[in-house]
């Protein structure tokens, strides 16, 4: 990539934080295996346990509840195995929906409003045995926040366990595992400025899940395999920085709101998806009916700006987003939606660059779509 770029795709992957890079570089030179009893091993163990405390602290969990994984996909696959019945909304990430479908569990659909808010269609009951409600804390495409505490309380009253995918919420809003009532929660390092390929499943003390990866006794026998010490160190440093910067999210929300009003002013017919729901401060899903999102993304890319069409995680397939479809949006609206997602190091100038390019597209010749 050459020339000055404006990166507005934090929900796909946030830039690596300097603290995370420093922690990783230092950890790479620690030769010990965290399971070894000698000094080198204990040094590596200390790095892993310090990171566990930082990650736990970001989401108000106990360190003993944090199990490091290869990412949130692994955490989600693990959390969704072994259930007889799963309550599931169509807005969930593929790494939730795919393992649930593959598991053969009885699936009970949740209702999703056009603003992207999920609810039970009827009073939940554990009719088929061991049951789970899975409900993301915030959506990756729209930023819409779910009332996990409330739906979770209804579920628990019916003897239904609760899992929440907090990948996009962590570091952007306060996440409180202790008071959320979920028995498990997935996290991803690279959405908060840590390295890709690291994550965690937070499992409430007292809840036992059969390991997805069995073998050695690492992670207190819950997840086998020698720990990825450098990635975990980076994840921990990113969690510490993200917790410190939570207060900066008000400024991020202001930038996002300014972007949205300027876009709506410039473009008749454009709309912000999920605007009436509670949303993450950093995410904007903007539909421009009549356009094709991929075309907009390419035009913006040529202008030096990185945004996404639908979920970048599933890019490569052109077409409508499953999330927006689950919200019942018209296909023409869904197909035109781009996602702009920012962070605490996004500047007013970055937003200005985006708006200039957007206005050029609005005012200029009809975009071939």
Tell which positions 34-73 bind ligand PMP, by CB under 6 A. Answer: 71-73
> Per-residue x/- marks for ligand PMP, 288-327, CB under 6 A?
-------------------------x--------------
118 contributes a contact to ligand PMP by CB under 6 A:
no
In the complex, least distance from residue 139 CB atom to ligand PMP, rounded to whole angstroms: 7
Of 136 and 218, the one with the shorter C-beta distance to ligand PMP is 136
Of the pair 144, 329, the CB lying nearest ligand PMP is at 144
283 counts as binding ligand PMP under rule CB under 6 A: no
Residue 98 near residue 133 (C-beta atoms within 8 A):
no
Phi, psi of 321 (to 5 degrees): -85, 135
Binding ligand PMP (rule: CB under 6 A), the pick from 44, 91, 167, 237 is 167
Task: Tell me which of 262, 264, 313, 355 is the catalytic residue.
Answer: 313
Pairing of strands 131-134, 161-165: parallel
Contact indicator for 145, 115 with CB cutoff of 8 Å: no
Among 6, 134, 140, 308, binds ligand PMP (CB under 6 A): 140
95 is a contact residue toward ligand PMP (CB under 6 A): yes
Contact 282, 259 (CB under 8 A): no
Please identify, using beta-carbon distances, which residue of 73 and 346 lies nearer to ligand PMP: 73
Closest CA to 238 of 282, 192, 198: 192
Q: Two tokens at 272?
A: 């912000």
- Answer yes or no: 313 catalytic: yes
First vs last Cα of the chain: how many Å apart? 25
Alpha carbons 67 and 151: distance in angstroms, whole number: 25
**Which string of b and e fits 110-146 if b means at least 16 CB within 10 Å?**
bebeeebbbebeeebebeeeebbbbbbbbbbbbbbbb
Binding site for ligand PMP (CB under 6 A): 71-73, 76, 93, 95, 136, 140, 165, 167-168, 188, 199, 313
Q: Please list the active-site residues.
A: 313
């Amino acid at each position: 990539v050459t020339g000055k770029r404006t990166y507005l795709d934090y929900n796909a992957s946030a830039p690596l934080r300097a603290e995370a890079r420093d922690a990783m570089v230092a950890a790479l030179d620690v030769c010990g295996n965290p399971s070894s009893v000698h000094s080198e091993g204990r040094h590596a163990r200390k790095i892993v346990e310090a990171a566990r405390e930082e990650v736990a602290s970001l989401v108000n969990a106990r360190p003993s509840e944090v199990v490091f994984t290869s990412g949130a996909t692994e955490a989600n696959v693990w959390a969704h195995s072994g259930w007889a019945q799963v309550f599931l909304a169509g807005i969930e990430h593929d790494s939730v929906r795919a393992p649930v479908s593959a598991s053969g569990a009885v699936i009970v659909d949740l209702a999703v409003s056009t603003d992207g808010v999920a609810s039970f269609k009827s009073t939940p009951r554990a009719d088929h045995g061991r049951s789970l409600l899975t409900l993301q804390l915030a959506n990756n495409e729209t930023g819409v926040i779910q009332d996990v505490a409330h739906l979770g309380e209804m579920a628990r009253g019916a003897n239904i366990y609760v899992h929440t995918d907090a990948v996009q919420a962590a570091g952007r809003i306060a996440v409180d595992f202790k008071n959320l009532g979920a028995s498990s929660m997935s996290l991803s390092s690279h959405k908060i400025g840590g390295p890709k390929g690291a994550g965690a499943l937070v499992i409430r003390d007292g809840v036992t899940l059969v390991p997805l990866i069995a073998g050695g006794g690492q992670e207190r026998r819950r997840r086998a395999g020698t720990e990825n010490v450098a990635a975990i160190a980076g994840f921990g440093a990113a969690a510490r920085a993200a917790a410190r910067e939570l207060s900066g999210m008000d400024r991020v929300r202001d930038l996002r709101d300014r972007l949205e009003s300027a876009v709506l002013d410039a473009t008749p017919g454009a709309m912000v998806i999920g605007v009436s729901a509670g949303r993450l401060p950093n995410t904007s899903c903007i539909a421009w009916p009549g356009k094709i999102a991929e075309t907009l993304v390419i035009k913006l890319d040529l202008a030096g700006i990185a945004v996404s069409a639908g979920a970048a995680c599933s890019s490569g397939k052109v077409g409508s987003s499953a999330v927006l479809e689950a919200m019942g949006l018209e296909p023409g609206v869904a197909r035109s939606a781009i996602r702009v997602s920012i962070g605490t190091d996004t500047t007013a100038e970055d937003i200005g660059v985006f708006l200039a390019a957007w206005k050029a597209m609005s005012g200029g010749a009809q975009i071939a779509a």
